[in-house]
Amino acid sequence: MIMITIAFLLGMVLCMLFGVPYIDMLKKKMIGQYVKELAPETHAKKQGTPTTGGVFIIVAIILASVTTLLLAQKMTTTALITIITLAFYTFAGFQDDYIKIKGKGNDGLTPRGKLLRQIAIALLPTLFLITTNPSACTFSIGSLVLDLKWFYPLFAVFIITGASNAYNLTDGLDGLAAGCGVPAFVACALISMSLGETELAIISATVAGALLGFLKFNKPKAEVFMGDTGSLAIGGLLGTLAVLGKFEFLLIFIGGVFVMETLSVIIQVASFKTTGKRVFKMAPIHHHFELLGWSEKKVVIVFSIVSLILSIIAIVLFELFSKGIL
C-alpha cells in the first residue's frame, strides 16, 4: 500500500509541475480549442482555451509509473504492455488533436480512421493476455464463470475500445472527465492490489493522482483541456486495466458515468433515426443537464459524486465476490 500511495502522490505532483510550463507554451503558440457550433451557447467562451493537455498528463503518468514500478521491483511484462498501450493511444489521440488544430476546426481523424486505430491498439494487451494467461478467455461475475473461448478476444477489444470512446465522450465539461476518473482509477488500484496485480495497481494509482493534479488546471473555468490526446488514452487504459486484471464485469460500475454518457448518445441517435424525436435535449447527457439549467460546476460535482458512489459499489461487490457471498 505504501508504493500505491507513492505512485498516487508522484503522479499528482509531476502532473502539476509539468502543467505550468506546458500551458504557457500552448498560450504562446496560441494552440486552442475550437468550440462546436452545436455545443450549448455557454460554451462559446471556451473558444481558444489551450488543448492537448493530455500530453503532460500522460508524461506524468508514465514517469511516475516507471519510477514507482522500479522502486517496487515490479517492472513486469504486464506493466510494459500496459504502458506501451497507453503510449499508443496517446499518439492516436494526439494525431486527432493535431489535425483539428492545424485545420482550425473540429474535424480530426475520420470516425473510421480513429476506430481502426483504437481497435488495432486494443489488440496488443488482448493478444498478450490470451497468450500468457491460461484462464484469459473466461468472464466472471462472482461465482459464475463463463468460458467465452474464441469470442473473448473480440469481447476484450470491444471493452478497451468502448472504454476509450466512452471516456472521450465524457470529456465535454471543465473537470468532468478528470473528476469522474479519479474515483474510477482509485477503485482499479484497490481491486488490482487485492488481486495481487501490484503493477496494475501502481499504474492505476498514478493515473488517479495525475488526474487529481490535472484538476488544478481543468476545474471550471479551465486553463487547459486534455483533448483527445488525454481522453482516448486514459479511457483506453481504463479498459486495458479491467481486461488484464480480469475484472471486466466491475468496469460497468467503475466506469458507470462513462457508460451512462455513451448510452445517452446511442439512445439519442437511435430514437432520432427511428422516430424523428430526441429523448434528451442534447447528448452526451451532461449537455442535457446543462440545458435544463444546471450550472457546469453543478453537473461536474454531481457526476463526480455518482462516479465515486459507483466506484465504492464496485469495490464492495469485489469483496463480496472474493468471499464467495455472491
Sign of CA dihedral 224, 14, 11, 91: positive
What is the mean predicted confidence (pLDDT) over 308-317?
Answer: 98
pLDDT digits (tens, 9 = 90+) for 164-208: 999 999 998 999 999 999 999 999 999 999 999 999 999 999 999
* Other Cβ atoms closer than 10 A to 74: 18
Q: How confident is the model at residue 87 (pLDDT cuts 50, 70, 90)?
A: very high
Is a pLDDT exceeding 90 seen at residue 326?
no
| Least confident window among 17-31, 128-142, 231-245 | 17-31
Give residue 1's pLDDT: 82
Task: Specify the pLDDT at position 284.
Answer: 94
CA–CA distance, 174 with 298 (Å, rounded to integer): 11
Q: Cα–Cα distances in Å, from 122 out to 125, 127, 157, 209, 238?
A: 6, 9, 5, 24, 12
**Residue 93 contacts residue 231 (beta carbons within 8 Å):** yes
pLDDT digits 0-9 by tens, 38-61:
555 555 556 668 888 999 999 999
Looking at residue 141, the DSSP 8-state letter turns out to be E
Quote the pLDDT of residue 26.
86
**pTM of the predicted model as reported, rounded to 2 decimal places:** 0.94
233-279 pLDDT, tens digit each: 999 999 999 999 999 999 999 999 999 999 999 999 999 999 989 99
First to last CA, the chain: 26
- Mean pLDDT, rounded, of the chain: 92
What 3-state class would DSSP assign to 140? strand
- How many other C-beta atoms can be found within 10 angstroms of the C-beta atom of residue 194? 15
